[in-house]
A and B are shown apart, each in its own frame.
Chain A
Amino acid sequence: MSSAAINVGEIIGSSPVSIRRRLANLMATLAAGSAVLLVLAPLGAILAYLLYKGFGSLNWAFLTQTPKPVGEAGGGMANAIAGSAFILLIASAMGVPVGIGAGIYLAEYGRNRFGNLVRFTSDVLNGVPSIIIGIVAYGLVVLTQKHFSALAGGVALAIMMIPTIARTTEEMLLLVPVTVREAAYGLGVSKWRTTLSITLRTATSGVITGVMLAFARVAGETAPLLFTAFGNQYWNWKANQPTAALPLQIFTYAISPFDEWHRQAWAGALILIILIMAAVSAVRIAAGRGMLRGAN
């Protein structure tokens, strides 16, 4: 209470809205406003540069060809785009069910000490730097398989998806009113059926939004792929072989000394951000219109 008393003293102590206080008010407003401008400036600059440089270097070959050797003009990132999709598919196949399952556990059965432990651990997992996840996926998959692979990249990204999906699923399931569940129980529906067909279905759009956020987060991840998927100059559709990925390719090209590669890095970055934004907004629109609720 003492801090509140001090506040009162400070305010009453000064004369009614003096020039000094008005000035302080004005300065604070200006400072906060300019902070907003300063923060938005890099965002604007990044997006502007992406569009400007990206569209300037984007062409049909970029989307359909594999990289050319150093020195040769042309070539593209088609294999990296496909590789990213492949790795993300593997990651989603593992991460989404487990994440949603963990979310269901937390929301429906997790009101106890073990639930709190899982909740805490998933927050811990969420904060682990992505490069560390890469080390673990390397130890788990690459060392046992004896070579870099799409699967290893997928495992790394799946580990990163799980905590995000689990916590958003939990949040969304808890938003479903208890009365809805009780209505189902009252009709004699069993708990598992209620959870899957009533609770989860009511929360579908929220859960899908969470999944997409996790997806968008890992789609641009580079660090955990460096020594798991590793990258590849050619097409690859085998889960146990090194695979190109768009973020990896952008990284390699960005730090290279060749102008041609720099231009391709910008084009790749533009494609990456378009894919992320498109995935997120498409699903948001679909979920918002309730189109995804039809499926059982």
Chain B
Amino acid sequence: MANQALGAPRLTGPQPVHKPELTVTAQEQALPLVRPGLSHIADRVFFYAMLGCGVVVLALVGLIVYELITKSSLSWHAFGWKFFFQSEWDPVNDQYGALPFVYGTIVSSILALVIAVPLAIGVAVFITEMSPRWLRGALAFTTELLAAIPSVIYGLWAIFVLVPLLRLYVEPFLSRTLGWTGLFEGTPYGIGMLAAGVILAIMVVPIVSSITREVMTAVPQQQREAVLALGATRWEMIRTGVLRNARAGILGAVILGLGRALGETMAVTMVIGNRPEIARSLFAPGYTMASVIANEFSEATGNLYLSALVEVGLALFLVTIIVNALAQVLVWSVTRGMPARSNV
């Protein structure tokens, strides 16, 4: 009985009538769009063309790696690992050590994060949890606007506004109050590591805050309601219900900001002072990996000089890739993975 019922359901009412002539007319009518013979070939061609575009993306990254490795091999063979631990950068005598640049890049980026991260998280918290609804869109748009300003314009502004401000007010103040730490001593030039850190911080805030916002929005609404239902104040709700659940993603946002800060070139080049020295004081001029390439690449005479610069580039490339990949994984763990670490 059951089989019979499954095999041939007994339908009541009018039955559909088989009409073979219908297909013929359909084909005739749709002639401009459908050409059975050609469309199969066209589909293959289209597929391979689009596949080709995808392959281009792969090829470009391969090409970058290939170019950097082959062009830097000369310097790699000449100096080996010592390259990154020597602080002498002397194009005249063909002696190249990248330590001052590595140091400058790390210190300026960390300084930027120290300034930017609390601000960025504050902005994200305000926009997602505290701001009145009518203000939310405008604030989000305005902070995004900061990301659209080209690096060179940040640099221009930093040279003529930020640097004098630092030299005349901020640096004398820091050296009076925190001079004993050794981080803020020496002549306040304005130009130097501190200026680079501050301008980088301004540039990094929009990225960190927009991703933090994304991550915080991904925290389920029930989390907030549950904490509020227990009688928490709004801040307690944000701290325990939102920030704690989003912390992996926020860490990802911070690391993404780090990736941006490490590779940032123009604004830093314009204010860091461009001197390959390692100084403890943040007032002293420094140099970063990106800015040494920017400044010296087009003037580099001699193969070893050029090769050393490309090796700096290769190191920068590898570090930013690792940092970005790490950040991606962390952000994904919150926004598209399971509810973040609810079992930890």
List chain A positions with a Cβ less than 8 A from chain B.
Answer: 1-4, 7-8, 10-12, 16-17, 21-22, 24-25, 27-29, 31-36, 38-40, 42-43, 45-46, 49-50, 53, 97-102, 104-106, 108-110, 114-115, 117-118, 121-125, 127-136, 138-140, 148, 159, 162-163, 166, 187-193, 195, 216, 219-223, 226-227, 230, 247, 250-251, 254-255, 262, 265-266, 269, 272-273, 276-277, 280
B230 to A, closest residue via Cβ? A11
**A42 vs B205: C-alpha distance in the bound complex, in angstroms?**
11
B236 touches A162 (CB 8 A): no
B56 touches A254 (CB 8 A): no
B270 interface residue per 8 A CB criterion: yes
**A138 vs B239: C-alpha distance in the bound complex, in angstroms?**
49
Which residues of the partner chain B approach A269 to less than 8 Å between Cβ atoms? 152-153, 156
C-beta contact mask, B203-224 vs A, less than 8 Å → 1, else 0?
0010001000000000000000
**A286 vs B290: C-alpha distance in the bound complex, in angstroms?**
38
Cβ-defined partner of A46 (8 Å) among B34, B40, B157, B264: B157
Cβ-defined partner of B157 (8 Å) among A7, A45, A276: A45
B57 touches A12 (CB 8 A): no
**A247 vs B155: C-alpha distance in the bound complex, in angstroms?**
11
**A296 vs B70: C-alpha distance in the bound complex, in angstroms?**
45
B52 to chain A, nearest CB (A): 7
B30 touches A188 (CB 8 A): yes
Say whether, besides A40-B142, A43-B146, A255 and B159 are in contact (CB < 8 Å): yes
Q: What are 13 A-B pairs with beta-carbon distances under 8 A? A: A1-B343, A4-B342, A24-B236, A28-B125, A35-B118, A39-B205, A46-B149, A135-B313, A140-B63, A162-B57, A189-B30, A193-B39, A220-B149
**A282 vs B268: C-alpha distance in the bound complex, in angstroms?**
32
C-beta contact mask, B140-151 vs A, less than 8 Å → 1, else 0?
001101101111
B275 interface residue per 8 A CB criterion: no
Which residues of the partner chain B approach A121 to less than 8 Å between Cβ atoms? 57-58, 61
Cβ-defined partner of A136 (8 Å) among B33, B63, B150: B63
Say whether, besides A129-B290, A159-B60, A124 and B324 are in contact (CB < 8 Å): yes
**A117 vs B62: C-alpha distance in the bound complex, in angstroms?**
13
Cβ-defined partner of B126 (8 Å) among A36, A100, A162: A36
**A266 vs B230: C-alpha distance in the bound complex, in angstroms?**
55
Which residues of the partner chain A approach B317 to less than 8 Å between Cβ atoms? 128-129, 132
C-beta contact mask, B117-150 vs A, less than 8 Å → 1, else 0?
0111111011100100000000100110110111
B324 to chain A, nearest CB (A): 4
Within 8 A of A (CB), among B222-278: 227, 230-236, 238-241, 244, 259, 262-266, 270
**A227 vs B232: C-alpha distance in the bound complex, in angstroms?**
58
Max chain B C-beta neighbours (<10 A), residue from A135, A227, A247: A135
Which residues of the partner chain B approach A24 to less than 8 Å between Cβ atoms? 233, 235-236
Which residues of the partner chain A approach B61 to less than 8 Å between Cβ atoms? 121, 124-125, 128
A191 to B, closest residue via Cβ? B43
B118 to chain A, nearest CB (A): 7
Which residues of the partner chain A approach B202 to less than 8 Å between Cβ atoms? 42
B227 touches A11 (CB 8 A): yes
Further 18 A-B residue pairs, CB within 8 A, beyond A4-B342, A135-B297:
A11-B227, A28-B234, A36-B126, A38-B119, A40-B142, A42-B146, A45-B161, A46-B154, A99-B53, A100-B53, A124-B325, A134-B293, A148-B298, A162-B57, A166-B57, A188-B26, A192-B43, A273-B153
Main secondary structure of the interface of A (DSSP, over half): helix
B264 to chain A, nearest CB (A): 7
Max chain A C-beta neighbours (<10 A), residue from B46, B53, B151, B154: B53
Which residues of the partner chain A approach B205 to less than 8 Å between Cβ atoms? 39
Which residues of the partner chain B approach A21 to less than 8 Å between Cβ atoms? 233, 236
Max chain A C-beta neighbours (<10 A), residue from B42, B126, B130, B316: B126
A32 to B, closest residue via Cβ? B126
Which residues of the partner chain B approach A7 to less than 8 Å between Cβ atoms? 227, 240-241, 244
Max chain A C-beta neighbours (<10 A), residue from B50, B123, B244, B313: B50
A117 to chain B, nearest CB (A): 7
Which residues of the partner chain B approach A25 to less than 8 Å between Cβ atoms? 233-236
B234 touches A135 (CB 8 A): no
Which residues of the partner chain A approach B54 to less than 8 Å between Cβ atoms? 101-102, 105-106, 110, 114-115, 118
**A276 vs B50: C-alpha distance in the bound complex, in angstroms?**
30
B67 interface residue per 8 A CB criterion: yes
Say whether, besides A32-B125, A190-B34, A190-B42, A10 and B240 are in contact (CB < 8 Å): yes
A8 touches B321 (CB 8 A): no
Which residues of the partner chain A approach B11 to less than 8 Å between Cβ atoms? none
Cβ-defined partner of B230 (8 Å) among A12, A50, A191, A273: A12
**A12 vs B321: C-alpha distance in the bound complex, in angstroms?**
45
Say whether, besides A25-B235, A220-B151, A227-B297, A3 and B321 are in contact (CB < 8 Å): no
B198 to chain A, nearest CB (A): 9
A36 touches B146 (CB 8 A): no
B64 touches A35 (CB 8 A): no
A251 touches B155 (CB 8 A): yes
A222 touches B159 (CB 8 A): no
A109 touches B155 (CB 8 A): no
**A102 vs B64: C-alpha distance in the bound complex, in angstroms?**
18
C-beta contact mask, B162-202 vs A, less than 8 Å → 1, else 0?
00000000000000000000000000000000000000001
B150 to A, closest residue via Cβ? A220
A29 touches B235 (CB 8 A): yes
B159 touches A28 (CB 8 A): no
Say whether, besides A188-B26, A191-B43, A230-B298, A136 and B64 are in contact (CB < 8 Å): yes
